[in-house]
Amino acid sequence: MIDEFNKLLYSNKIITQSIAPSWVNQGINTHILRLDLIHPVISGNKFFKLKYYLDEAEKRDKRTIITFGGAYSNHLLATACACNLMGFKCVGIVRGEKPAIFSSTIKAALEYGMELYFLNRSAYKEKKIPFLIQDHHYIIPEGGYGIPGARGASEILDCVTGIKEYTHIICASGTGTMTAGLTNAINSHQQVISVSVLKENYSLQTEIKSLLTEKGMKNDLKIIHDYHFGGYAKYNPELLDSMKELWTELNLPTDFVYTAKAMYGIKQLIQNDYFKVGDNLLFIHSGGLQGNHSLPVNTLPF
């Protein structure tokens, strides 16, 4: 199962690109790991976060996967697609009443055969499993948060040649699962910088900590809370302008929920002289571009 999944994952070569945006100071090297190019739907970190959950489900002989997410959730759609590829039945529990018109994410999840249940916000909060679901099921927590998710995410850095050369690994965080995986995987001379996209989500540190291995506990992790732009999936013209700039300068597409905010954060750190000459930064492009469909048409040039 893991082998089969890895074959899907690594069949598209994962590339690391050198980038030199105009705002990077001289003497600082920046690379980007293009996980957004892995697969058109299960892009980015989701592939990595899902694999050990699916493996565990298979080992326990559970052929139905249940998971949770909002109407634009990258996790929900990635799970639908991964289950479709790996032959699992899949149920999605969606936050909020059933809308008159489905989001593009929900439509795509349906196309992958995901069975959907819409729960109002209070029922969703309790993560109630509708009684209609009788099958022996396996639950993947919302956002893939958990030890199997972090274990998969720790394999992200295996895709980078010369990983030891980097001084800083930079990513966006929602649940913090990817951040935990990366922190477990780095070496003692490296630092993970994680830009939280949720507003004032100060419990993130504890949530990440509970996914760290003994080695990970000793590693250097910096969490930044300053670039959420008002909260999850919130944005303003400044964020959109920074995305357009990355596109025109570098031909680099970002998503407004995660990667654009992390990039913006790095730009600020660079401008505040956080890094020193000779530092070697690796930015994880964790995908999520499908989420841009929730923006009004023509907001972005890509």
Ligand X SMILES: *Cc1c(COP(=O)(O)O)cnc(C)c1O
Which of 154, 286, 292, 300 binds ligand X (CB under 6 A)? It is 286
259 in contact with ligand X (CB under 6 A): yes
CA angle (242 as vertex; 171, 103 as ends), nearest 5: 75
3 state DSSP class of 58: helix
Strand 29-34 relative to strand 280-285: parallel, antiparallel, unpaired?
Answer: parallel
Q: Which span (80-88, 155-163, 240-248, 254-262) binds ligand X, by CB under 6 A? A: 254-262
3 state DSSP class of 274: coil
Q: Which is nearer to ligand X, 176 or 270 (CB)?
A: 176
> Mask: binding to ligand X, 64-103, rule CB under 6 A, as x and -?
----------xx----------------------------
Which of 175, 183, 184, 242 binds ligand X (CB under 6 A)? It is 175
Q: Which is nearer to ligand X, 78 or 98 (CB)?
A: 78
Site residues (CB under 6 A) for ligand X, limited to 130-149: 143
Q: Which span (6-14, 255-263, 275-283, 293-301) binds ligand X, by CB under 6 A? A: 255-263
Strand 280-285 relative to strand 64-69: parallel, antiparallel, unpaired?
Answer: unpaired
State the number of CA atoms in the 13 A half-sphere of 163 facing the CB.
20
| Helices 74-86 + 45-59 axis angle, to 10 | 50
Q: Which span (93-101, 156-164, 172-180, 212-220) binds ligand X, by CB under 6 A? A: 172-180
- State both tokens at 194: 């994680």
Cβ contacts of 128-136, under 8 Å, gap ≥ 24: 129/66, 129/93, 130/93, 133/64, 133/66, 133/91, 135/63, 135/64, 135/89, 136/61, 136/62, 136/63, 136/64
CA angle (37 as vertex; 153, 21 as ends), nearest 5: 95
Buried b (16+ CB within 10 A) or exposed e, 86-109: bebbbbbbbbeeeeeeebebbebb
Which of 67, 177, 190, 242 binds ligand X (CB under 6 A)? It is 177
105 in contact with ligand X (CB under 6 A): no
In angstroms, give the least distance from the CB of 261 to ligand X.
9
In angstroms, give the least distance from the CB of 178 to ligand X.
4
Q: Which span (155-163, 168-176, 219-227, 273-281) binds ligand X, by CB under 6 A? A: 168-176
292 in contact with ligand X (CB under 6 A): no
The size of the interface with ligand X (CB under 6 A), counted in residues, is 19
Site residues (CB under 6 A) for ligand X, limited to 24-53: 44-45
Cα-Cα-Cα-Cα dihedral sign, residues 294, 295, 296, 302? negative
For the chain, give the number of residues: 302
Q: Which span (92-100, 160-168, 177-185, 221-229) binds ligand X, by CB under 6 A? A: 177-185
Q: Which is nearer to ligand X, 86 or 257 (CB)?
A: 257
216 in contact with ligand X (CB under 6 A): no
Strand 220-224 relative to strand 16-18: parallel, antiparallel, unpaired?
Answer: unpaired
Residues binding ligand X (CB under 6 A):
44-45, 74-75, 143, 172-179, 255, 258-259, 286-288
